[in-house]
Amino acid sequence: MGAKILEGKPIAQKIKEEVKAEVEKLKAEGVTPCLAAVQVGEDPASKSYIRSQRRSCKEVGIEYKLFTLPENTSKEELKEFIEKLNNDPSITGIILQMPLPKHIDAREAFCWIDEKKDVEGVTPANLGLIAFDMPRLAPPTALAAIRMIEETGEEVLGRETVVVGRSTIVGKPAALLLLQRKFSATVTVCHTGTSKRGKLEEHVRNAEILIAAAGQPHLIKGEWVKEGAIVVDVGMNYVEGKFVGDVEFETAKERASYITPVPGGVGPVTTAILLRNVVEAVKWQREG
Ligand code: NAD
């Protein structure tokens, strides 16, 4: 028996409808959510990402403003620019577009964003709040991975959960979110060190819930997947003209109970959750 395929589009659609209704309510109260995207230099790869951000904001009634700063913008100038946006009440969410030029350290730059406008959940404050079991603005991709698990309706409590990847925007926050009391999963985080020790397969074989976020095409073999496991594949790897996940989908789906496709799984849900975060940010700002 094959796994149930967790399609992202219907879930994303539902989230967007909820967001749209909230945006309308906020507008009726005189507040227009506005997302500011800051780009330093014009990386051709981010063009389509920016286009899709603008389109999805429009769909739900969120204003979108793109600020493109020159490639040679200094660290101090970028900091000043972000602080201006932090202090501008008409801007309610800020995205710092990647990649940044080499002379600016992304992690340092993330720290300049006001945590209440940090819709991508990239500031240390927001990551810390997840660890504190009181998340406010968590990274959309991590939230999307969790949402996929919730969609199965299966109980997570005490389940052997393996997260492959420890980045601050996916693996780490996903693991911390699953450790929250409300989920109480038993979480193992695997990373490059795990693979170097040759231990990845062993951990994956044990996983009742698997989140793959390594960015390595077909790193996880279908035969490693435990019978009946829930498999959430966050990986988006461009290989020979198409996107493939971190998990060998065709073989994994014969063993899993649920599995997300790539593309069309976690991706659309991530975009919808980013929009939801824009609304959550407005609510946080209004709390004062
Ligand atoms: P990253 O490169 O910052 O982190 C990858 C992590 O995987 C690292 O922590 C690393 O230790 C681990 N890793 C790499 N190779 C490994 C190996 N061989 N064995 C074990 N662990 C290994 O990447 P990221 O930003 O966290 O993104 C991960 C993947 O998710 C990428 O494919 C990215 O394109 C995708 N992504 C998808 C969405 C979406 O909306 N679907 C959003 C963001 C990122």
Ligand 1, atom 13: nearest CA belongs to which residue? 214
Phi, psi at 96, each rounded to 5°: -100, 110
Ligand 1 mutation pick, 15, 127, 189, 234, max ligand atoms within 8 A of CB: 234
Ligand 1 proximal residues by C-beta, below 6 Å:
141, 164-167, 169-171, 190-192, 194-195, 200, 213-216, 219, 234-237, 266-267, 270
Contact 97, 46 (CB under 8 A): yes
Predicted confidence at residue 288, as pLDDT, reads: 78
User: 136: CA distance to ligand 1 center in Å?
Assistant: 23
CB 53 within 8 A of CB 96: no
Please provide the distance, in angstroms rounded to a whole number, between the alpha carbons at the two ends of the chain. Answer: 53
Report residue 153 CA to chain centroid gap: 21
Query: How far does residue 262's CA lie from ligand 1's centre (Å)?
Result: 14
The whole model's pTM is what? 0.98
User: What residue type is 173 in one-letter code?
Assistant: P
**Res 44: pLDDT:** 85
In a 13 Å sphere around the CA of 258, the CA atoms on its Cβ side amount to: 18
What SS3 state is found at 211? strand
- Atom 42 of ligand 1, residue of closest alpha carbon: 141
Domains of the chain: 30-114 (3.40.50.10860), 139-267 (3.40.50.720)
The closest alpha carbon to 94, from 267, 274, 288, belongs to 274
- In the three-class reduction of DSSP (H, G, I as helix; E, B as strand; rest coil), residue 282 is classed as helix
Pocket probe for ligand 1: among 107, 146, 236, 239, the residue whose CB has the most ligand atoms within 8 Å is: 236
* Helix (H/G/I), strand (E/B), else coil: 161: strand
Counting from 1 in the atom list of ligand 1, the atom nearest the Cα of 262 is: 41
Ligand 1 mean position, distance from CA 32 (Å):
34
Q: What pLDDT tens digit does each residue of the chain (288 aa) get?
A: 699 999 999 999 999 999 999 999 999 999 999 999 999 999 888 888 899 999 999 999 999 999 999 999 999 999 999 999 999 999 999 999 999 999 999 999 999 999 999 999 999 999 999 999 999 999 999 999 999 999 999 999 999 999 999 999 999 999 999 999 999 999 999 999 999 999 999 999 999 999 999 999 999 999 999 999 999 999 999 999 999 999 999 999 999 999 999 999 999 999 999 999 999 999 999 997
What Å distances lie between residue 277 and 28, 36, 54, 230, CA to CA?
19, 13, 15, 26
- Residue 265 class from Cβ within 10 Å (0-12 exposed, 13-18 middle, 19+ buried)? buried
Query: Ligand 1: which atom is nearest the Cα of residue 164?
Result: 21
